[in-house]
Amino acid sequence: MDNPFLKPYDTPFEVPPFEQIEIAHYLPAVEEGIKQHQQEIEAITSNSEAPTFENTILAFDEAGDLLERVTTVFFNLNSANTNEDMQALAREISPKVTEHSDNIMLNKALFQRVKAVYDQRENLDLDAEQMRVLEKYYKDFERSGANLSDEDQAKLRALNQELSNLRLQFGENLLAETNKNFQLVVDNEADLSGLPEGVISAAAEEADKAGMAGQWVFTLQKPSLIPFLQYADNRDLREKIYRGYFMRGDNDNEFDNKEVLAQLVELRQEKAELLGFDNHAVYITDNNMAKTPENVYDFLYKLWKPALEVAKEERAEMQAIVDREGGNFQLASWDWWYYAEKLRKEKYDLDEEELKPYFSLENVRDGIFYVSNQLYGIQFERREDIPVYHPEAEAWEVKEADGTHVGVLYMDFHPRDGKRVGAWNTGYRDQAYKDGEKVQYPITSIVCNFTRPTGDTPALLNFDEVTTFFHEFGHALHGLFTDGPYQRTAGNVPRDFVELPSQIMENWAAEPEVLKVYAKHYETGEVIPDELVQKIVNSGHFNQGFATVEYLAAALLDMDWHTQEFAGDVRAFEKTALDRIGLIEEIIPRYRSTYFSHIFAGGYSAGYYVYIWAGVLDTDAFAAFKESGDLFNPELAAKFRTLLAKSGSDEGMVIYRAFRGQDPSPEYLLQKRGLK
């Protein structure tokens, strides 16, 4: 009982007692969680009474609480605050959890009880939500191999173990390649030409930290990489750092990911065929709104042609600047950010460095709180008495307007060695019901890699980081507002619906009415001037050809990896895929294969398309607010909160139509991106 996982959490709102958790606690708690879950399953299968919704489906839905509480903490911290010991433990825990999951989903006695309830479902007087839970669980068992022969189930178990280990290895290799295996060290001050003072200061601090005082160190973390590409006049150094970035996992070293992803692709194909699907993409999309890979390809190609044309126009405009300045070279991929920044100044008289003083992290956070309060009436209170998993993490209590508890929100903003790249939202606990009453409130977490404070200057965000913050907060609101009686369906939405709650929040970030509330100069408190607001509005379509093309190229590459035949050469496969769609050489996909963690380490395989699929939904949904004449229209906000709360209780499009009253139109997305 010294293990904090094995006793009730004596903490505010029963959050995990992070300060008590030691690495030695995880494995025993996981093993005990597996044991208890097995006992709960055995209680279901050994029940002498005939299978019913209550004694089989509901009992299954409520099982596994201890294992869930341990693994959510462990795997979340392995992403946000890992080290070599945690990574080694992950390699030990992951196979155990995978085996346990297989033991449940391939349990014949359990499946027979679930099937017995499913087969008589029309005669059980189930309500709509109970029916959905039953149907979802039955399909889960089918998709997990419950109908396979014993021999094929043994093959499936082996495949799942290998896939689990390979995903971990891909992520570990990428973490090393990003955080440890590349530094751009500048020892000549002249090579800093063009860089803003804040970027130079951050690089000097990075050098001090690395024991290289008097020099400047730039890394592959986005807050270091992107400003260097945008502003550094030294073209050779721009190429060097960009190559460091886009060659991650492809350096033929101990952290190379080519063989790892090749095995992942082949094993996914084998698993899909074993389960009766033509390929992995068919297996994945069968569970999504898109339903088939063909629908995904059709959707992406409709956007690809106009986006590529706009990107080519952008390229021509930048090449004209190169020629005008006597550059005497063809624009390359490592030039795009640099000349795009020049083009932004030329066309819109807008310098990103001019904006950053108005986007201190604290002010942006307060702006997000303001939008959330205006829409939903919720309020946020910083709590110093809630345990945090790292000194840099913040804990906030979220309340309704009347003070009623909604949930707990963690926020963790800056890069560090033990944190994987990118930004994400996750949870430490979902809401839960017992006997028709809510007995558990959500704990959600936003993890980012934003620009750090330097010296006396607070963390100042570029506008891309601002929208990222709004985006992840949308995910957090989805988790906080989810309200449903069953774990299987509450908030559990198709992958191509899940980005709607996040992406709609981005729309408020750039609205002049909202900017005037939160964009305040960090030194003077001056509200962002109308002139700058207008420049932001005017530049709304800026570089959208590039942004859309680099994204679509990655989405199409993902689909190709999971639909096309693979002959074993990763570089050749990638080149063929990109040549086929006519990607211009000045643009590299947002993720090349060897660092495409969304699809090879995360949960977006054959699903990276979902961001732009949800883009159709979010732009259409936000248009409802705009067209109403009130960005915070209370009636629409209440309906959208209902969409968030009840998501998972029905099919994605049914839930969306209940909010909008009609199918979404792609016209709003095309207009927003300037592709029409």
pLDDT one-digit tens code per residue, 610-648:
999 999 999 999 999 999 999 999 999 999 999 999 999
Q: Are residues 37 and 122 in the same domain?
A: yes
The answer to whether residue 652 scores a pLDDT higher than 70 is: yes
pLDDT of residue 1: 65
Q: Are residues 14 and 73 in the same domain?
A: yes
Q: Are residues 412 and 469 in the same domain?
A: yes
Q: Is 631 left (phi over 0), alpha (psi -120 to 50) or beta?
A: alpha
Would you say residue 288 lies in a domain? no
Q: Are residues 640 and 505 in the same domain?
A: yes
Q: Is 400 in the active site?
A: no
Dig out the tokens for 628 from the structure: 């109403």
Q: Are residues 519 and 431 in the same domain?
A: yes
Q: Rounded to the nearest 10 degrees, what angle do helices 65-80 and 23-45 cross at?
A: 150
Q: Average model confidence (pLDDT) for the chain? A: 97
Listed in sequence order, the residues at least 6 apart from 16 whose beta carbon sits closer than 8 Å to its beta carbon are 4, 9, 69, 73, 387, 389, 428, 443
Would you say residue 201 lies in a domain? yes
Identify the CATH number of the domain in which residue 652 sits: 1.10.1370.40
Higher-confidence residue of 421 and 384: namely 384
Identify the CATH number of the domain in which residue 67 sits: 1.20.1050.40
Would you say residue 414 lies in a domain? yes
CB 594 within 8 A of CB 256: yes
pLDDT of residue 117: 98
Arithmetic mean of pLDDT, 574-602: 98
Would you say residue 333 lies in a domain? no
pLDDT of residue 134: 98
pLDDT of residue 9: 97
Among 246, 271, 296, the domain boundary falls at 246
Q: Are residues 32 and 76 in the same domain?
A: yes
Q: What is the pLDDT of residues 30-74, one digit of tens each?
A: 999 999 999 999 999 999 999 999 999 999 999 999 999 999 999
Arithmetic mean of pLDDT, 215-237: 97
The answer to whether residue 436 scores a pLDDT higher than 90 is: no
Among 97, 132, 147, the domain boundary falls at 147
Would you say residue 287 lies in a domain? no
Q: Are residues 100 and 208 in the same domain?
A: no
Q: Rounded to the nearest 10 degrees, what angle do helices 108-119 and 128-143 cross at?
A: 140
Q: Are residues 433 and 367 in the same domain?
A: yes
Domain carrying residue 478: 357-544+610-672
Would you say residue 517 lies in a domain? yes
Whole-angstrom distance, CA of residue 352 vs CA of residue 665? 32
Arithmetic mean of pLDDT, 354-378: 98
- What is the percent of the chain where pLDDT is above 70? 100
Q: How many domains does the chain have?
A: 3
Q: What is the pLDDT of residues 249-295, one digit of tens each?
A: 999 999 999 999 999 999 999 999 999 999 999 999 999 999 999 99
pLDDT of residue 676: 84
Whole-angstrom distance, CA of residue 376 vs CA of residue 370? 10
Q: Are residues 142 and 205 in the same domain?
A: no
Which of 40, 162, 397, 472 does the annotation list as catalytic?
472
Among 204, 221, 246, the domain boundary falls at 246
Arithmetic mean of pLDDT, 13-26: 98
Q: Are residues 372 and 495 in the same domain?
A: yes
Q: Are residues 81 and 192 in the same domain?
A: no
Arithmetic mean of pLDDT, 400-424: 96
pLDDT of residue 458: 97
Q: Are residues 506 and 650 in the same domain?
A: yes
Would you say residue 275 lies in a domain? no
Would you say residue 235 lies in a domain? yes
Q: Rounded to the nearest 10 degrees, what angle do helices 84-105 and 150-179 cross at?
A: 160
